[in-house]
Homo-oligomer: A and B are copies of this chain.
Amino acid sequence: MASSLVLYGYWRSSAAYRVRIALALKGLPWENRPVHLVKDGGQQHAADYASMNPQQLVPSLRDGDRVLTQSLAIMEYLEETRPRPPLLPADAGGRARVRVLAQAVACDIHPLGNLRVLQYLERELGVGEAQRGAWVRHWIAAGFAAMEAMLAGDAATGRYCHGDTPGLADACLVPQVYNAHRWKVALDDYPTIARIAAACGELDAFRAAAPEAQPDAA
């Protein structure tokens, strides 16, 4: 019997959104502990939270006595401890492909549009709102152009990023598409990404994980 899961997240955090999708795809119940990223100077910086997550970022996942951080590490952990249904394919090549797509989001798009990065651009470098928007859009566009090429040019792409079963790559892509909408990045140049995101949007797991469906949504 697996122990109960507690997610420390924020409704609009892209990384927390990924983990919510993974939990929902696996049908795992979890308790929600919202951490407000702006209120109180950012609740992620409070001593209690920082002792659990020294990076002072969301999400964190508590599994019994164990605390996990980093959304990709959390999803791999869920995959290893609660393997059914799987978020990764069985073959090493397929697993690598799914991880590449996930990391194209998590390592090369999302870190550049993070709250703390935008705050640094504004406060330390005096970058104005229009230029901050252009910055975020630039990195989304660069990442999506590459991902579109990887998805459109590969027969392994199916209804979802990898075949006809939603998984770890979709759990990263969909929150990034949500961010793209927030930043008014049109998806016209990324038809495969748009199609996959729409297909995911029809699934209950993705709907339940959506930012606006969270109790802490503004």
* A residues adjacent to B (C-beta < 8 A): 54-57, 66, 68-70, 72-74, 76-77, 80-81, 92-93, 95-96, 99-100, 103-104, 106-108, 110-112, 116-117, 120-121, 124-125, 127, 131, 134-135, 138, 142-143, 145-147, 149-150, 153
Pair B54/A80 contact, Cβ less than 8 Å: no
Pair B68/A96 contact, Cβ less than 8 Å: yes
Pair B95/A149 contact, Cβ less than 8 Å: no
Q: How far is the CA of A125 from the CA of B120 in the complex (A)?
A: 13
A101 to chain B, nearest CB (A): 9
Q: List 8 A-B pairs, minimum CB-CB distance, nearest first.
A: A73-B99, A54-B149, A111-B111, A54-B146, A55-B146, A77-B96, A70-B103, A80-B92
Contacts A55-B146, A146-B56; A96 near B73 (Cβ below 8 A): yes
Contacts A55-B146, A96-B74, A125-B135; A112 near B103 (Cβ below 8 A): no
Contacts A77-B92, A103-B72; A138 near B120 (Cβ below 8 A): yes
Q: How far is the CA of A40 from the CA of B143 in the complex (A)?
A: 22
Q: How far is the CA of A112 from the CA of B146 in the complex (A)?
A: 19
Q: How far is the CA of A147 from the CA of B124 in the complex (A)?
A: 24
Inside 8 A of A68's CB, which chain B residues have their CB? Answer: 96, 100
Inside 8 A of A99's CB, which chain B residues have their CB? Answer: 70, 72-73, 76-77
List 15 A-B pairs, Cβ < 8 Å: A54-B150, A54-B153, A55-B104, A56-B146, A70-B107, A72-B103, A77-B92, A77-B96, A80-B92, A107-B110, A111-B112, A112-B112, A120-B135, A120-B138, A124-B131
